[in-house]
Amino acid sequence: MALADWRLEGEWIKNCICAYGCPCDFNAPPTHGECKGLLGMRITRGHFEDVVLDGLSFFVLVGFPGPLHEGNGQAQPILDERASPAQREALFKIMSGQHSAQGTLFHIFSLIVTKMHEPVFAPVSLDFDEEARSARLAIDGVLETEVEPIRNPVTGAELRIQVVLPEGFEHIKGEVASADIRCKGAIPFETRGSHSTLAYVVHTPQGVAA
């Protein structure tokens, strides 16, 4: 079956409870045994078939009892409340993994998530500066997270660390940073000084294009 024509380009955030340098990027177990976090993007340019998705944001809260490849995960989608019914349907179709090739991000998540919570439609406020390793995401009543550079514990100087995954299914190059997270969604958790990745990505049915 031919895959639907879709493309998402934009500012990507992945924040989680693990120590700096997300273990998932290295096929290593989560820092604390379990995995809780969030990932998603503000779409600068995007579409699903003839539905334009420019300017919308979507995020997903996730929780896994162990390494992601062992599955049994849960997730809760959060969509920008400005999305029209057609745009909401388009984003849900992309996130379902049914319109992605095997081994790509959304297809993998469709295999390892066994419990899907009811979606949230809410205002999304996002400040994003990949170069400065700085971001702030606020979703009323659900999620607040701030990202700042990792700092040298002795001098306080900012550290710049990048992770490069030429065959990555989430991003190819990302800036590693420090996150504070306060999540009150269906998967509640709170962290200070945990992992963050900021990246500019392009996702297609065939995987990450940039």
Q: Which range of residues forms the domain containing residue 20?
A: 6-208
pLDDT score, position 2? 75
pLDDT score, position 6? 98
27 backbone dihedrals φ, ψ, rounded to 5°: 55, 35
Is position 136 within any domain?
A: yes
Is position 66 within any domain?
A: yes
Is position 131 within any domain?
A: yes
Is position 164 within any domain?
A: yes
Please list the rounded mean pLDDT of every run of 10 residues in the chain (210 residues). Answer: 90 98 93 97 98 98 96 98 98 97 96 97 98 97 97 96 95 98 98 98 95
**pTM > 0.85: yes or no:** yes
Is position 144 within any domain?
A: yes
pLDDT score, position 210? 81
Q: How many CB atoms lie within 10 A of CB 45?
A: 13
Is position 80 within any domain?
A: yes
Contact at 8 Å (CB) between 87 and 51? yes
pLDDT in tens, 98-151: 999 999 999 999 999 999 999 999 999 999 999 999 999 999 999 999 999 999
At 101, list the tokens. 């090739």
pLDDT score, position 1? 56
Number of domains in the chain: 1
Placement of tokens 């998705």 in the chain = 53
Is position 201 within any domain?
A: yes
Q: Give the integer Cα–Cα distance in Å for 185 and 120.
A: 9
Sign of the alpha-carbon torsion through 84, 114, 59, 106: negative
Q: Give the integer Cα–Cα distance in Å for 109 and 154.
A: 39
Q: Give the integer Cα–Cα distance in Å for 67 and 49.
A: 34
Mean pLDDT rounded to a whole number for the chain = 97
Q: Which residues contact 161 (CB under 8 A, 6 or more apart)?
A: 20, 21, 150, 175, 176
Q: Give the integer Cα–Cα distance in Å for 205 and 90.
A: 13
Q: Which residues contact 133 (CB under 8 A, 6 or more apart)?
A: 147, 148, 149, 150, 158, 160, 175, 176, 177, 196, 198
Is position 1 within any domain?
A: no
Sign of the alpha-carbon torsion through 119, 121, 123, 126: positive
